[in-house]
Amino acid sequence: MQGELMELESKANGTNQPTQKSCEVESRTTRRGIASFVLVVIRFVNRHVNPPPRFLASRSEAERRVATASMLAMYGLMLVLPLVGWEMLSAARYQIVLYGSGHLQFILPSSATLYAVLRKAHTVLAYLFFLTFLVHFAAILFHTLVLRDGILKRIAPWRVR
């Protein structure tokens, strides 16, 4: 399996040298992707069962829209990234082992070109997620430390003073 992945990657990046390191990284990130996907699904369910409090009355309509768009972008990326990773590894015919002999089925045909495109898409989406997270975190810090408007009370699952 890993040999096939290295062969596909070497074809996709235009070299004849397979990269063993990439297979080791794929194995580690696959476990993280599966765990992330499970946690995101749990978070979605929790979010629908326990919706967040209303926006503060002092928030403008534009701020509410930006906050909602930011949240939706983060949730969307958290859901899409593991799925694109699964598609990418399916195109490479890399077996995703869940536990013991249990594994995920391939969902796409074997294709070096498809693997290369999905790998690039996965990378771009990961950077976009990281950027979205940083902007979201910066906004929380700004509201908490500069404006001191109690926005952390709205989003934190614990009691904030």
pLDDT tens digits for 19-58? 555 555 566 778 888 888 999 999 889 888 988 778 878 7
- In three-state secondary structure terms, 98 is strand
Longest CA–CA span in the chain (Å) reads: 61
Q: What is the Cα–Cα distance from 14 to 128, expressed in whole angstroms?
A: 26
Q: How many Cα atoms occupy the beta-carbon half-sphere of 41 within 13 Å?
A: 7
6: confidence class by pLDDT, cuts 50, 70, 90: low
Q: What is the pLDDT of residue 7?
A: 57
Residue 111 tokens, joined: 């294709």
The ranges assigned to domains in the chain are 2-155
Q: What is the Cα–Cα distance from 103 to 99, expressed in whole angstroms?
A: 7
